Amino acid sequence: MPDVTGGNALRAQEQMDGTRVRFEDATGKDREVVDPQAWRVCGSTPGANRQITSYPVVLLVVPDTESCPDGASG
């Protein structure tokens, strides 16, 4: 799993090159990610530099205007 933390959610999805990706609101507010271009990656499951063993890969994201919550690393 590449380290996409801090990057744009759409670019992170594109970097996954065909891997199934699901976006989850890292704040727990369960907001739908309609435009990943406007969201930033706070963490992922599996974590950075870990082998992907299950799908979909989960990207924990927040809108660009918000800060990542503590413990949102996946």
What local confidence, expressed as pLDDT, does residue 73 receive?
A: 59
Higher pLDDT, 54 or 61: 61
What local confidence, expressed as pLDDT, does residue 17 receive?
A: 87
What local confidence, expressed as pLDDT, does residue 44 receive?
A: 95
Predicted model pTM: 0.90
State how far the Cα of 45 lies from the Cα of 59, in Å rounded to an integer. 7
CB 36 within 8 A of CB 61: yes
pLDDT one-digit tens code per residue, 4-47: 999 999 999 999 888 999 999 999 999 999 999 999 999 999 99
CB 61 within 8 A of CB 72: no
